[in-house]
Structure 1
Amino acid sequence: MHDLMSTPKSTSRARAFPIQSLRALMLASVALTAAGCSGFGGKSEFANIQEDPADQLYNEGLALISSGSYNEAVKKFEEVDRIHPYSEWARRSLLMATYANYEGGNYTDAIASGRRYVTLYPGSEDAAYAQYLVAESYYQELSDVGRDQQRAERASAAYREILEKYPNSEYAVQAREKLDVARDQLAGKEMEVGRYYLGKRQYLAAINRFRTVVTDYQTTRHVEEALLRLTESYYALGIVQEAQTAAAVLGYNYPDSQWYRDAHTLLQKGGYEPEENKKSWISRAFSSSGSLL
């Protein structure tokens, strides 16, 4: 029995994987009832299925998903877990409850049930999908960079878990793309705070923020500006060699960037040119040749 036969692969929110028809899900569950999940060996745990409403509740839950009644669907799946907690029906129901919660916009509940699934069934073929729904739930609540970025941090961690635990799953590519977006959001927050300190002439505080972008979010679109702001901050403090290094690394990697032209102009006004100090932390954050790692 293949678990993915009865698992939707994505939702309507710009997923990379089209959802399987609910008719197919119902047919798969009917087959499960008839065959008794013979793959488990021994006496079928569904031998007395006629006396147990688990399969009926499960299929009712699928029908409710099909009609868009996600909250009611969750109730059906939770009832399966209550009535038959250690069955294959319960396992499937927990995954479908996660999906229904996600589709219904109940992201906190989707995260809770998705995490529970991964904890209870780490070896399941659907564990990667459950983890993906957890990450997507965090992702759907990303706020703009002007607000707290806790959700972005948790989304990043959830996507990284997919890449670490399920690198060969069909969700890995999507996870990497979404991880880049979440990391870009976190870098944007650091830049916003850094620019605030820079405007207040609190240069050391500003440098700490821009340094985080250069060291931790080097592959995001914010790294160019971060290097310019480091040039400005160090130059304002009179630490010219670090300012020159920031500008040199910026110029090496982004020679056509407006940020580099601004950094170069700033140094020239003082009679300096971009020049890399190989011992600088800025240089060490990049490869020995000055190119991005």
Structure 2
Amino acid sequence: MNKLLYVFLLVTVLSSCGEYQKALKSEDVALKLEAATKQYEAQKYNKAIRLFEQIAPVYRGKKEAENMFYMFAQSYFKTKQYYLAAYQFESFVSLYPKSNNVEEAAFLSAKSYSKLSPVYSLDQVDTDKAIIKMQAFIDKYPDSQYVAEANTIVKSLTEKLEKKAFEIAKQYNTVSDYKTAIKALDNFLADYPGTIFKEKALFYKLDSSYQLAINSVPSKMQERLNNAKAAYDALIKFNANTEYRALADEMLVRVDKELQQFSK
């Protein structure tokens, strides 16, 4: 690197750092805003946040601070501080409802909540909240350029809830609590009629019905065998080419064989 260029860059960096430190210690809010804006435009969002946090209480509600609060919210979002981003974007929408950025802010607020959604096995309170927030955005801005992405996010979050509910229902089958499994899977199918896990749920209901029937006491066996046969029919009706067809057919053969003793 050219020595003069190196010196120039070093002086520039040191000067910038000096300006930033000066702004942090200053009582001049206008100076802080100017420095925060420079840091934001340089994509140094964490530095910008430190300054925005100092001056936000002074500027809150003032029209001239509209752009400042937009940058503040964006800074949190870009640094993946999604709780704070969601709060700041919501505040922006409330403070500046006529802003040109209000639609984007409303979307990013909802998107921030979606980023807080944990893996399906954990508590899904934040997932429920994200769906509500995103659906509210879609309802308010049905023609928004962000609607396609919003719908994709809602679909993904909903499938996460479905997976959690399905895995809970399936677990009863895994631990051989077949009566509870049948009830749980029926509830799951009723709650999520269009779920992507429908085929799996129908199969595990069949398996649970089958296991309950063939291990049943004689007085309850016929009814339970017929229930298993009905569960088989439901699965095949949904998808005749199901990946579980071979297993299901084996179960049906056993069920029909056991039922023959009741027809004699």
Q: Select which of 137, 157, 167 maps to 1:192.
A: 167
Conserved? CA contact 1:162–1:171, under 8 Å: no
Which residue number corresponds to residue 23 of structure 1?
A: none
Structure with the larger helix share: 2
Which residue number corresponds to residue 163 of structure 1?
A: 138
For 1:34-45, list aligned pairs within 5 A: none
Mean Cα deviation higher: 235-244 or 253-262:
235-244
Instruction: Give SS of 1:270's match.
Output: helix
Conserved? CA contact 1:98–1:133, under 8 Å: no
For 1:17-96, list aligned pairs within 5 A: 58=33, 60-79=35-54, 81-96=56-71
**Displacement of 1:166 after TM fit?**
1.4
For 1:115-134, list aligned pairs within 5 A: 115-122=90-97, 124-134=99-109
Q: In 2 relative to 1, CA 78–233 (structure 1 residues): closer, same or farther, beyond 3 Å? A: same
Q: In 2 relative to 1, CA 219–114 (structure 1 residues): closer, same or farther, beyond 3 Å? A: farther
Instruction: Give SS of 1:271's match.
Output: helix
**Displacement of 1:130 after TM fit?**
2.0
Matched pairs, number = 220
Q: Select which of 224, 227, 247 maps to 2:199.
A: 224
Q: Provide the C-alpha distance between the structure 1 equivalents of 2:191 and 2:96, rounded to a whole number of angstroms.
A: 33
For 1:139-158, list aligned pairs within 5 A: 139-158=114-133
Amino acid paired to 2:172: Y
**Displacement of 1:82 after TM fit?**
2.8
Instruction: Give SS of 2:256's match.
Output: coil
**Displacement of 1:78 after TM fit?**
4.4
TM-score (norm 1): 0.63
Conserved? CA contact 1:102–1:110, under 8 Å: yes
Q: In 2 relative to 1, CA 177–264 (structure 1 residues): closer, same or farther, beyond 3 Å? A: farther
Gaps of 5+ in 2: 1-27, 214-223, 258-264
Q: Provide the C-alpha distance between the structure 2 equivalents of 1:122 and 1:235, rounded to a whole number of angstroms.
A: 59
Which residue number corresponds to residue 267 of structure 1?
A: 252
Conserved? CA contact 1:80–1:93, under 8 Å: no
Which residue number corresponds to residue 256 of structure 1?
A: 241
Q: Provide the C-alpha distance between the structure 2 equivalents of 1:204 and 1:116, rounded to a whole number of angstroms.
A: 50
Which residue number corresponds to residue 9 of structure 1?
A: none
Q: Provide the C-alpha distance between the structure 2 equivalents of 1:111 and 1:224, rounded to a whole number of angstroms.
A: 37
Amino acid paired to 1:229: Y
Which residue number corresponds to residue 135 of structure 1?
A: 110
Conserved? CA contact 1:228–1:250, under 8 Å: yes
Instruction: Give SS of 1:215's match.
Output: helix
Conserved? CA contact 1:193–1:206, under 8 Å: no
* Identity value in percent: 23
Pair member with larger Rg: 2
Q: Provide the C-alpha distance between the structure 1 equivalents of 2:104 and 2:92, rounded to a whole number of angstroms.
A: 10
TM-score (norm 2): 0.69
The superposition leaves residues 121-173 of structure 1 with CA deviations (integer Å, 9 ceiling, x where unpaired) of: 45544333223222322332333222222222222222212222211111110
Amino acid paired to 2:127: A
Q: Please state if 1:108 is matched with 2:93.
A: no
Amino acid paired to 1:270: V
**Displacement of 1:235 after TM fit?**
4.1
Q: In 2 relative to 1, CA 208–150 (structure 1 residues): closer, same or farther, beyond 3 Å? A: farther
The superposition leaves residues 82-107 of structure 1 with CA deviations (integer Å, 9 ceiling, x where unpaired) of: 33333333333323222111111211
